[in-house]
Amino acid sequence: MDSPTASPLEEALARFEGARLAFVDGVWVNESVRGRDLKYYVFDWDDNVLCMPTRIHMERLDSKGRWVPHLCSTATFSVIRRDSAHYRYPQGQRELAFVEFQDRRTPLGGGTFMEDLDRALDAIAEGRRKPPPSFETFRKTLVEGRLFAIVTARGHASETLRQGVERFIERVLTPVEREIMLINLRGYAYCFDGTQTFPSQTAVLRNYLALNRYHAITSPAFDRRLAAEAPTATTQEARKRFAIRDFIDHLIHILERTGMDALGLPMAVGFSDDDPHNVAAVRAYIEQVLARHFPSVRFCVYDTSDGAGAHKMMVSGQLELPLE
């Protein structure tokens, strides 16, 4: 007679071979995270984590010298956005071009962020599209319970992006991977926050998602923050730099609060983006500012603009940070 199939939890525990696990308050926790290197990630969203079907409404100069409506993807926009001789925003207004990137429906069409996210995941699940370059790295980041930031040129509320990550977890991670993630997340809480009593799985996940950063750099909330803290950050590249620095400061605060900074563990932060202009701007920002302020941190920048993989652009510090 065949043995019964192992449960997702049993399979998850089997994958922790060599790790130090503890049974606390009726659940398993991974104590080995105490000595784990400190790897964190900053992800651009579109064409990097997911290829969303959201469209940009531009105008193109045709062969007769007329400006005509032109719908394009985010990947195409990253190529043409500086070609002002042939492409422009409708009526010169950026908000008209990016009406589909807000938390509201418009007469011009387009779905909500969650609807577009589901369409993007459907295309991958059905084999109609290959996962973008950072899809698997983002998946692995979640399974390992590492902190991350989403930094996107969209205009959604942070909560919308957080809900999108939760949907990604629901649809992409297998039951075994979700169990591994929870064991890791409880391990961090147990080792660094002194947690002895664990809430429901839903609460553990909610607490983890709340620790991360979700920056939609053209959202009204982000505009208000920039007006108060960095009014000169008007370009897309400057806004992304501000968001990245916010995440670094957030990480340092967490490390200091939990005492992890005293462990002397190697720390690395990776940034990936499919827009070459953003990649160049972030690379320069790391070289000129972040690497000097945080000399012990290894910063890695990855250009995913060709859609086929991640090309490492720059590395500083002491820890290798592969983008798989």
Same domain, 201 and 250: yes
- Structural domain that includes position 63: 56-101
- The pLDDT value given to residue 318: 41
Q: Which of 43, 75, 101 is the last residue of a domain?
A: 101
- The pLDDT value given to residue 110: 58
- The pLDDT value given to residue 2: 46
Query: Which residues, listed in sequence order, are joined to residue 172 by a DSSP beta bridge?
Result: none
Query: Is 1 domain-assigned?
Result: no
Same domain, 198 and 270: yes
One-letter identity of residue 165: V
Same domain, 94 and 133: no
- The pLDDT value given to residue 275: 86
Q: Tell me the mean pLDDT in the region 114-126.
A: 96
- The pLDDT value given to residue 316: 59
Query: Is 252 domain-assigned?
Result: yes
Residue 207 burial (CB count, 10 A)? 15
Q: How does the average pLDDT of the chain come out, rounded?
A: 89
Same domain, 82 and 223: no
Query: Is 3 domain-assigned?
Result: no
Query: Is 323 domain-assigned?
Result: no
Same domain, 152 and 185: yes
Same domain, 251 and 179: yes
Q: Which of 39, 70, 101 is the last residue of a domain?
A: 101
Which letter does DSSP use for residue 189 in this model?
H
Same domain, 176 and 79: no
Each residue's pLDDT tens digit, 127-140: 999 999 999 999 99
Query: Is 106 domain-assigned?
Result: no
Query: Is 324 domain-assigned?
Result: no
Does 77 score more than 60 pLDDT?
yes
Query: Is 107 domain-assigned?
Result: no
Residue 93 burial class via C-beta count within 10 angstroms: exposed 0-12, middle 13-18, buried 19 and up: exposed
Each residue's pLDDT tens digit, 182-205: 999 999 999 999 999 998 999 999
- The pLDDT value given to residue 107: 58
- The pLDDT value given to residue 126: 97
Each residue's pLDDT tens digit, 147-187: 999 999 999 999 999 999 999 999 999 999 999 999 999 99
User: Domains in the chain: how many in total?
Assistant: 2
Q: Tell me the mean pLDDT in the region 87-108.
A: 82
Each residue's pLDDT tens digit, 285-301: 998 899 888 988 899 99
Same domain, 212 and 306: yes
Which pTM value belongs to this model? 0.89
Same domain, 61 and 167: no
Q: How confident is the model at residue 321 (pLDDT cuts 50, 70, 90)?
A: very low
To which residue do tokens 């193109």 refer? 60
- The pLDDT value given to residue 309: 58
- The pLDDT value given to residue 319: 38
Same domain, 231 and 250: yes
Beta strand 213-216 pairing with 87-88: unpaired
Q: Alpha-carbon distance 70 to 57, whole Å?
A: 6
Q: How confident is the model at residue 305 (pLDDT cuts 50, 70, 90)?
A: confident
CA-based angle 6:8:13, to the nearest 5?
85
Q: How confident is the model at residue 60 (pLDDT cuts 50, 70, 90)?
A: very high
In percent, the amount of the chain with pLDDT more than 90 equals: 66
Q: How confident is the model at residue 81 (pLDDT cuts 50, 70, 90)?
A: confident
Q: Is the distance from CB of 124 to CB of 118 less than 8 angstroms?
A: no
Same domain, 92 and 197: no
Q: Which residues does 203 contact at the CB level (< 8 Å), separation at least 6?
A: none
Query: Is 284 domain-assigned?
Result: yes
Same domain, 84 and 182: no
- The pLDDT value given to residue 322: 46
